[in-house]
Amino acid sequence: MKNLTKILIALMLVGLICSVYAGGKQEQAAEVTGKLVLATNNAPEGKSMAKALDEFGKLRGIKVEVVEAPYSNLFEKEVLDLSKGTGLYDIILLDDPWFTQFAENDWLTELTPYFQAKQESGLSADFIDKSQAICRYPYARGLLYAVPAVGNAQMFFYRKDLFEKYGLARAPANWDEAFAIMKKIAESEDNVHGYVLRGQQGNPVVAQFMPVFWSFNGKMFNEDKSKVQIDTPEALNALNFFLKLKSISPPGAESFNAQQLATHMLMGTAASTINWPAFVPTFEDPKQSKIVGKIAYAPIPSDFAVGSSEIGHWLAAIPASSKNKELAFEFVHWATSAEKQKELALKWGNPPTRKSVFQDPELLAMAEFRHYPVLLQAISNSTPRPRIANWNEVENSFGIYLSKAVAGTMTPKEALAAAQVDVEKLMKKAGYIK
C-alpha cells in the first residue's frame, strides 16, 4: 500500500514537471510567433485563403486556425466578434458591402503604418484602382483598412454563336443593340430565351438591377448621401428597361437566384445574362455545360452612361481587437502578393486583384483564364454598392419594391416612389439625411 502511494506521488511529480516544461515551451513559442485565427466563408474563394493560411503556418512554424462559415453566417459571426471586441479572429475575410459598417465603427486596424514598417508607402499600385478604393474609408480617399484579396465584378455573359447568327459578330456595345439581338433570338430560336433575369427579392434582384441602373446614368444617392435619387427619370428608364429584359426571360425569373441563371445558360436555354465570374469554370466544363466554346464574356453594355458592373470583392482585414496584428499583417501581405495571387488563381481559380496577375502571359495562354482581360476591364470600370453603413437595410427595402415591380404588383413608377419614401426614412434614421 505504501509503495503504491509512493509510486503515485512520483508519477504525479513527473507529470507536473512535464506539464510545466511543456507550458513554458509553449509560452516561449507564443512570444516569438503566436497563433493566427482566420474567419472566412466556406465557398471556394474563402477556402483558398484558408489553404494559404495553412501553408503560411507551416512556413513560419506557427499555429493557425480557420473558422469557416456560410456567407450570411460569417457576417453575423464577424459583427458579433468585432462589436464586442473579443478578439477571436486575427484576420477576417469580408464582403466589400460590409466594409463601410466595419470601418465606420472603428472595428478594423488601419494598415498604412504596417506597410510603412516594411518600407512601403501603402497598397502597391499593382492593385486595380477600383479594388483599392473600396478598401479605404471614406471611399477612395480615406484611410486604408483592408487589402483586396479576391477580385470579382459582374460580367455580361452571352452566346457568341447566337449573337453572330443574328448579325452581331462582337460584344454588344450598348443595351439597344444587345436587346435587339436578344429579342430576335427569343423570337426565332426554339427553346432559347433572350436573357435570363435574376429576380429573387432582396440582394439578388438589387444586384441585377444596379448595373442597368448605372448604365442608364442613375445614381442611388448624391455625392454626400444627403439625397435619395430613386424616384427619378433615370431610375424609371432603367426599371422600364429592366422589365423589358424580364419580358424576354424564362418564366419564373421572379424567384431566380444566381444558380438558376447559371442553369439556364448551361442548358443552352438562355442567350445572355449578367452574373458573377465564379460560374466561368462551370460554363467551360464539358461535363456540365452544353455551351462550351459558345459562350463569351463582355463588360456590361452601355447606355446613357458607360456600362458598369457591381464590384464584389472579398477583402482581407485585421480586426482592431486582434492580439496578433503584426503577424496577421505578415500573412495578408504575403497572401496578396503577385506570386501568391497567381498561384491561388492557378490552383483554386481565385480571381486576383492585381493588374500584373490579370495580364500574366502564362495565365492568359490557358483556356480557363480567357475571360481575364474582360474581368480586368469590368473591375476597372466597376461601381461599388453605395458606401453606407446601413446598406443591408437599404438593399432589403429597395429589393422589396424591385420585386414588386418585377412581379407586376406595382407599376415601375409606383415602386420607385414607394422605395424613395422608405429609403429616405432609413437614411434619416441612420443620420445621413439631417
Q: Using CB under 8 A as the criterion, which residues of the chain lie in contact with another protein when the complex forms?
A: 72, 75-76, 79-80, 83, 101, 105, 191, 199-205, 250-257, 260, 263-264, 267, 269, 389-390, 392-393, 396, 399-400, 403-404, 406-410, 430
C-alpha–C-alpha distance, residues 83 and 418, integer Å: 33
Task: Using the minimum distance from each CB to another protein, give the nearer residue, 79 or 171.
Answer: 79
Task: Using the minimum distance from each CB to another protein, give the nearer residue, 39 or 406.
Answer: 406
Q: Shortest Cβ distance from residue 191 to another protein (Å)? A: 8
Q: Shortest Cβ distance from residue 343 to another protein (Å)? A: 33
Q: Shortest Cβ distance from residue 120 to another protein (Å)? A: 32
Specify the residue for cell string 501553408.
55
Task: Using the minimum distance from each CB to another protein, give the nearer residue, 232 or 392.
Answer: 392
Task: Using the minimum distance from each CB to another protein, give the nearer residue, 105 or 226.
Answer: 105
Task: Using the minimum distance from each CB to another protein, give the nearer residue, 131 or 260.
Answer: 260
Task: Using the minimum distance from each CB to another protein, give the nearer residue, 151 or 250.
Answer: 250
Q: Shortest Cβ distance from residue 390 to another protein (Å)? A: 7
Q: Shortest Cβ distance from residue 47 to another protein (Å)? A: 19
Handedness of CA 142, 146, 150, 154 (dihedral sign): negative
Q: Shortest Cβ distance from residue 104 to another protein (Å)? A: 9
